[in-house]
Amino acid sequence: MGKREFCAYKAFSHHKVLMLLLFVILCLSFFFPLASSSSLSFDFYAGSCPAAEMMVKDTVRSASDLDPTVPGKLLRLLFHDCFVEGCDASVLLQGNGTERSDPANRSLGGFSVIDAAKRVLEIFCPDTVSCADILALAARDAVEFAGGPSIQIPTGRRDGRISLAANVRPNIIDTSFTLDEMAKVFSAKGLSMDDLVTLSGAHTIGTAHCSSFNDRFKLDSNGSLTVIDPSLDRQYAAQLTKMCPSAATDDSVTVSNDPGTPLLFDNQYYRILLEHKGLFQSDSALLDDEKTRNRVLEFANNQDSFFERWAVSFLKLTGIGVKTDDDGEIRQSCSLPNNR
C-alpha cells in the first residue's frame, strides 16, 4: 500500500470511528436525555451558585433553633404553594387578591425564613436562585432538622407570575374532607393514594387553629360533651374542648397536630390515628379504606418504611407544576414580582 493510499485508508477509518461515536451519542441522548435549563436537575446551581443549598440550610437551621415550630410552618407553606399553581412560590406574593390573602392561607407562617434565605443568596448569587427552589429546599431541610429523613431533591424551578386567591380553595385539602374528596385533589396533582397517606404524615409536626377541627364535638350549656364525629376518641375530644373553649373565636389558640411528639418528625402521627386521635376529620378518613388503613398500620409499626416512602412522595410533591425557562422568573424579592 502506497503512502497516499495508506493516508486515505486512515482518514476513512477515522471517519468511520467518528460516525460511530456520533451514532452512539445520538442513541444515548435519545434514551437518556441530558439535563438542560428546561428541566430540573440535582446539580442545577453547581456552576452558578455552588453554596446555594448550604445557605438555605443554614438559614433554616438558625430559624429552627430559635423557634422549634418553624419546621412545621415551612412544610405547610410548601404544601399550600405546590397544590395551587404548582411549586412556583406564588403563595409568597403579597397583595390584594393573591393566594396569600385568602382566608385559608392567612394562618400560614415561615415567610420570614424564606425572605432571610433570599437576602443571603442575593448577596452572594444575585438573580440566580429562585424563591420556588428556596421554599422547596427549606421545607426539605425543615423535615431533617425535626428528626426526619435527609433527602435530595432537584432544583431549577422558576418563580410564577400569577397568584390568585380564587385558585386556593378548589386546590387545597380542607380538614373536613372525606377520603374520596382528598383522593380527587391528589389525583389531579399526579399523586397516588399511597402519596396521600404518606404526605399526610406531615401532620406529625405543626399546629392547627381550633376552627379547623372544633366542629367534630360540642359542649352544651351544662358543659356536657357531645362527640359529633364518631371517628374521634371521646377522651381526646374532651381534652380538645379544654384547649379550645367555645368562647375562643380568635386565632390565638392553637393545638399540636401530634399531641405526643409535636416537634419531632416521626411515625407517631400514624400511631395516634389508630387510637382515633387524629386531630382533623381528614386524618381519621385515612382509616375508612382498607388499602389506606393498611398503609397507616405499616407506617405506625415501621418508621423506616415511612421515611423511605416519604422521600419518594416528597420528591413528587416538589415536582408538581414546576415552571422553567420563560414560564417563570427569578424574583429579586420573594414577596413581589419583578418589574416588567
Q: 109: which residues sit within 8 A by CB, 6+ positions away?
A: 69, 70, 73, 76, 77
The answer to whether 229 is a known ligand-binding residue is no
Furthest-apart CA atoms within the chain: distance in Å? 113
Ligand-binding annotation for 84, yes or no, is yes
Name the percent of the chain in helix, strand, coil, to the closest 5: 55, 5, 40
Q: Give the three-class secondary structure for 289.
A: coil
- Compute the distance between CA of residue 163 and CA of residue 133 in angstroms, rounded to an integer: 17
Please say if 209 is a catalytic residue: no
Q: Is 258 annotated as a binding residue?
A: yes
Is 266 assigned to a binding site?
A: yes
- 286, 203 contact by CB (below 8 A): no
What is the H or E stretch that residue 219 is in?
strand 217-219
204 appears as a binding residue in the annotation: yes
- Measure the CA–CA gap between 79 and 59, rounded to whole angstroms: 20
Joined grid coordinates for residue 272: 395516634
Q: Are residues 253 and 243 in contact, defined by beta-carbon separation less than 8 angstroms?
A: yes
Which one, of 20, 30, 168, 41, lies nearest residue 93 by Cα? 168
Q: Give the distance, in angstroms, between the CA of residue 74 and the centroid of all CA atoms in the same chain.
A: 8
The grid cell for 7 is 493516508
Q: Which secondary-structure segment (H or E) carries 70?
A: helix 70-85
Residue 203 among known ligand-binding residues: yes
The answer to whether 99 is a known ligand-binding residue is yes
Active-site entry in 14, 15, 80, 209: 80
261 annotated ligand-binding residue:
yes
Q: Which residues are annotated as a binding site?
A: 81, 84, 86, 88, 90, 99, 203-204, 258, 261, 266
Q: Which residues are annotated as a binding site for Ca(2+)?
A: 81, 84, 86, 88, 90, 99, 204, 258, 261, 266
Q: Which residues are annotated as a binding site for heme b?
A: 203
Active site residues: 80
